[in-house]
Each structure stands twice: as C-alpha cells, then as structure tokens.
Amino acid sequence: MSEVIVIGGGIAGICAALELLDAGRSVLLLERDTEDNFGGLAKESFGGIFLVGTPEQRRAGIRDTPELALADWHAFGELDPADRWPCAWAEAYVHRCHDEVGVWLRERGVGFLPAPHWVERGQFTPGNSVPRFHIVWGTGHHLALRLIERLRNHPQRARLDLRFGQRVESVLTADGAVAGCSGFAEAGGEPFEARAGAVIVAAGGFNGNIERVRQHWHEDWNSPPPVILNGSHRYADGRLHDAVDAVGGRLTHLDAMWNYAAGVRHPRPRKPGHGLSLVPPRSALWLDWRGRRIGPMPLVTGFDTRDLVAQVCAQERQYSWQLMNRRIALKELAVSGAEFNPSIRDRKKLAFLRDLLFGNRWLYDEMIGNCADFVTGRDLPELVKRMNALQGDDAVSLDEIRAAAESYDAQIDRGQTFHNDEQLRRIAYVRHWKGDRIRTCKFRKILDPDAGPLIAVREFIISRKSLGGIQTDLQSRVLDHAGQPIAGLYAAGEAAGFGGGGMHGLRALEGGFLGGCVLSGRIAGQSAATIT
C-alpha cells in the first residue's frame, strides 16, 4: 500500500508526485489514459506560462512586479474580493510563480523563448499591462517530457507505482477521513480499490465533456451554440468532480470557463468533435454567418478571449467566418498547441526562424489541404460559393462580404493618417511590441490581387479550460461546504480551478493554466507529504 494516491498523470499530478518523492513518500499514480499519453494536456499544449519579473522580461525592457500583476489579474478576472480562496490563490500565484514555477522549471531543464508574448491586454476591462506569456522552448511537449523524465529517474523511483489504464470513479472514506479510491480498468472493466492515507485529485477539468460544458454555460454567453468543438482532454469529463462532491467537497465557479472563438475541426480527429483552436489572424476580417463584419467593435484577438466568445455567441447563428488571403495567412495563421508548432516543439532554431521570416508554409498547406473548415477562392464570387457549399445553404451574401472587404481595404488605401477603424488602430498598437510586429502584417488589404487566393475559415466555439472546480485552501486541501478541510483529500491543477476552485476569476491572463498546475500540484504534494 502506498502512502499517497495521485489521481491523474497530467502536469499537476506529475508535479505532486515529484514533491512526494522528494519528501520520501511512497506514491501510487493512477492514470486512466495509456502510457503514451502520460503528461495529459500539458504535452499537447503550446507551453506558454504566466511569469512575473523574469530575466526574459528584463532583457526585453519590461518592468514587472507581483503588485502590478495582481492588479491586472483582479481587473481582468473581475474577482470578487469576498471570494476568499480564489483571491488568496491569485495573490499567492503572482508572488510565488517566479521562484516556485519559473526557477523550479529552469532547474529541471526547461527554458523559454527570449521574448514573452503579450496576450490578453484587455478590451473593456484592463488586462496584462506588460508581456508575461513565457513560451517553453520545446512547447508543453518538452515541459511534460522533462518532468516525466525527472519522475522516472528520481532517486526515490522505487517508491513510485505508476499504473495506466485505471479509471477512478470514487473516493473512499473511513472513520471520517479519506482512505483511498476505487474504479475500473479502462480495458476489460476489472474493478479495483486502492488504499492510502491521502488522495490528491489531479484529474483535470470537465471541458472534454461537451454536455457538461453546455450544462454550466455562463449566462453572459447567450445559449450554448449547437456546435461546440472539443479542445480539451478526452477524459476531462468531471467524473472526479462528482466523486469529490459525493464526499462533501465543494465545487465552485463551474460556469467560469476559458473557451475560444476560433475552433476548426481537426484534420485527423482523435476524439469525437476534436477541434483545433486557431490563433485568429489579426489582419483577417471577422464576419458573421452572413458575411457581415461583426461589430460595431470589430473582433481582434489578443485583448479579451472571453469577449470574442460572447460576441460570436450573441449572433443569430453562433459560428463565424474569418476572411483573409494567402499573404495574411502565411504571416499570421497559427494554431495553439504543440502539434501544429513543430519547429518550436522539436526545438529547431533554423526552422523556427525560417517560419517567422518567410511565413509558415507548412501550416498553410496543412490547413488549406486538410482542414474541412478552410475554403479558398480566386475571387469573392468563387469563395462565397464554396463557403455556402461548406455550410450547405445560401447564408453568406456576396454583397455583404464584398461591402465589408471593400470598405476595410478603402481605409487602408487612404493611408494610416486617415485610418478610422478599430481593427486598424489595434493592428498599429500591437505592432509596437516586437513580439507582435514580426507576426502581424502592416495593414494588409484583403482583396489585394497579388496576395491571393482568398481564404475563408469557418470557426466554431471550442471548449478548453475549466476555470472553476474543486475548492481548495492554500495548502491544496479540499474544503467542504462549511469551508473546513476534508481530512486526507487534496486537489490540484485544472480540477481545482488551478487553485482555490477558480483562481483566475472570470477571465485568465493566459499561461496561468500550466503555471497554476505546477504551483498547485507542487503544493498538494508538499502538503500531502506531511500526513502522519
């Protein structure tokens, strides 16, 4: 019998297990997935981590402090000051992420790209005052592999029992304390029971369960759209949330989710409804289902992802189109995650620089050739015909789309001095930051005949992260409805809303997901190691 059980082999569970081994505890890690997928979503992720006061920031001339980061965090996430544990975790994160996430990872062989990205700057609410999104050189894939390697080569490795293909269903209690868990083998259905003095739930969020996403849909987002793609883990189904609920644990902020507005169908799906989240090109026009520009405030990424979702969901049909051309796509098209960023994932400097300087031709060809939601046309009539063929009706109006593109292009023709379009103003603004200048076109016309073909991308809402979850205190102990810790029960990572049951609030400054998993996972491991 092991002293501590960790449920879930994602980044949070791995960090918890590392801490437990460091403390000399014996650990049973139960993972539902196969060994190939050890590492969970982190392995698929882009690997951007929210960090404050780093060498990368200083070298780029960015002055950042935990106080500034905390003010941004509160403003963007609209946290309720009375919401004790999410606020406490937010404060702990901004103060502790430098040492306990950034330095800790560096000591374990994880490095970052030189220029942090400036994401989530805020639209109607202030966001990141400065760039803080530090991208792991090697993406989340490398991050996960390095930590798994540490686990497998740990001096206390003999104390670690790793079991894959084990689906945990319930948390067991005895004498008023948590005493283990039970479940079934994924293949064959053989039941099992495992006993331990402490259990850490690190089984991820629930956004891989689209029915559950609909059930907890936030009221700000109208009704849930008919199509919601799945951008989360196939086993992020909320099963362990229910198990914690069943033993009296408190679940909070389940309607706070971090979904994205530019989802397309995966060219080679590995789960039902498998979607990819595009980083929506800023120079593309964002159109509604008819081909009319969404407004009055045009949609531009990098300011408020939650608002993009709200705007698309407010339309009569809750999907959208982005209209661009080949030149724009080559410079700006990107897909979130390790899979579609091979030069960063495989740490190939030359390929990475080539893509930055000459455009990402590989991604362009892959998406145009294999993604069902991309259509091209030599001119607008041909493009519109193909858009309507894809949707299976005549919803897109050639007149609407032409009017949108021509009036936008006319603004560009008039010259920057006369630009009176919020999208163009934002493009000018983001280009001030070098990290964005190299990835954003300088006022590129849509209908430029030399920049074709024209491209339209049909985009659906894609589910991703659960911002809420199991409520925990600053020791990652699961709290009951009276706010008291449940003896022997801990939660970490996305299962715990990245700490406290929702440390981000309504909106996330990005990168606090992986960062929050590392910090809360480590804390859960350290706390569980103190059990007697």
Nearer to ligand FAD, 131 or 298 (CB): 131
Closest approach of ligand FAD to the CB of residue 175, in Å = 25
Q: Are 203 and 9 in contact (CB under 8 A)?
A: no
Q: How far apart are the first and last CA of the chain?
A: 15
Nearer to ligand FAD, 40 or 291 (CB): 40
Strand 257-265, strand 454-466: pairing: antiparallel
Nearer to ligand FAD, 201 or 529 (CB): 201
In the numeric block, the tokens 């104390």 are attached to 159
Cα separation, 11 vs 204, whole angstroms: 9
Cβ partners under 8 Å of residue 162, min gap 6: 9, 29, 31, 35, 38
Tell me the Cα Rg of the chain: 23
Closest approach of ligand FAD to the CB of residue 496, in Å = 8
Closest approach of ligand FAD to the CB of residue 184, in Å = 9
Closest approach of ligand FAD to the CB of residue 310, in Å = 21
- Ranges of beta strands (E only) in 149-249 are 160-163, 166-174, 177-185, 191-195, 198-201, 228-230
Closest approach of ligand FAD to the CB of residue 7, in Å = 5
Type of residue numbered 428 = A
Nearer to ligand FAD, 41 or 405 (CB): 41
Closest approach of ligand FAD to the CB of residue 387, in Å = 26
- Ranges of beta strands (E only) in 186-246 are 191-195, 198-201, 228-230
Strand 334-335, strand 275-279: pairing: antiparallel
Is residue 425 packed enough to be buried (19+ CB in 10 Å), middle (13-18) or exposed (0-12)? middle
Nearer to ligand FAD, 32 or 132 (CB): 32
Nearer to ligand FAD, 183 or 359 (CB): 183
Nearer to ligand FAD, 239 or 293 (CB): 239
449's tokens: 């005949």
Cα separation, 351 vs 338, whole angstroms: 15
Q: Count other C-beta atoms under 10 Å from residue 369's C-beta.
A: 9
Closest approach of ligand FAD to the CB of residue 229, in Å = 12
Cβ partners under 8 Å of residue 309, min gap 6: 221, 259, 260, 261, 461
Chain residues that interact with ligand FAD, rule: CB under 6 A: 7-13, 30-33, 40-42, 44-48, 140, 166-168, 202-204, 231, 233, 235-236, 239-240, 336-337, 465, 493-495, 511, 513-514, 517
C-alpha dihedral, 29 to 30 to 36 to 38, nearest 10°: -50
- Residue from 511, 122, 456 nearest 305 by CA: 122
Nearer to ligand FAD, 337 or 501 (CB): 337
Nearer to ligand FAD, 401 or 517 (CB): 517
Q: Nearest-CB residue to ligand FAD?
A: 10
Closest approach of ligand FAD to the CB of residue 515, in Å = 6
- Residue from 379, 420, 421 nearest 401 by CA: 379
Nearer to ligand FAD, 44 or 56 (CB): 44
Nearer to ligand FAD, 40 or 359 (CB): 40
Cα separation, 449 vs 45, whole angstroms: 36
Q: Which of helix, strand or coil describes residue 459?
A: strand
Closest approach of ligand FAD to the CB of residue 236, in Å = 5
Nearer to ligand FAD, 216 or 293 (CB): 216
In terms of DSSP H, where are the helices of 415-511? 422-430, 434-437
473's tokens: 């205190």
169's tokens: 């269903």
Closest approach of ligand FAD to the CB of residue 377, in Å = 29
DSSP 256-267: -EEEEEEEEE-S
